[in-house]
Amino acid sequence: MPYEYDEENIFAKIIRHEIPNDTVMETEYTLAFRDITPQAPEHILVIPKGYYVNYDHFAQEATDPEILDFTRVIGAITHAIGATPGNGGEGYRLIANAGRNGVQEVPHLHVHILGGRPLGRMLQRAE
């Protein structure tokens, strides 16, 4: 079944410069900006500029240059915020929510980069 993409979602509007954002890094294929409701001292969202609804859509249909660039930007930001454990940083977490079970609010692929404080265990068991 083909992926359905809502071109009026908030991140599509950010890509089209219809609403502002606090840009951290921008390349030909990728945009990174600060989350509007940060959950940690560092909370950055990385999105492809192409219209992909979630990670599996991106993995199946994005071009190799898009995938390479997206991955490189995520890595560059972990360095830029000083979080890389191999280089003296204290670490970070990447999250990509998808669909109903993943509790994805904005239907455009985004990877959350979280850092700047201990983040606790990955998941709380639901009661």
85-90, Cβ contacts within 8 angstroms, sequence gap of 24 or more: 89/115, 90/115
Catalytic: which of 43, 57, 79, 110? 110
Near ligand DGP in 69-98, by CB under 6 A: 97
Of 1 and 103, CB closest to ligand DGP: 103
Q: Could you give the strand order of the β-sheet that contains 42-48, starting from the edge strand earlier in sequence?
A: 23-26, 30-34, 42-48, 111-115, 92-95
Q: Does 37 bind ligand DGP (CB under 6 A)?
A: yes
Of 25 and 106, CB closest to ligand DGP: 106
Q: Does 9 bind ligand DGP (CB under 6 A)?
A: no
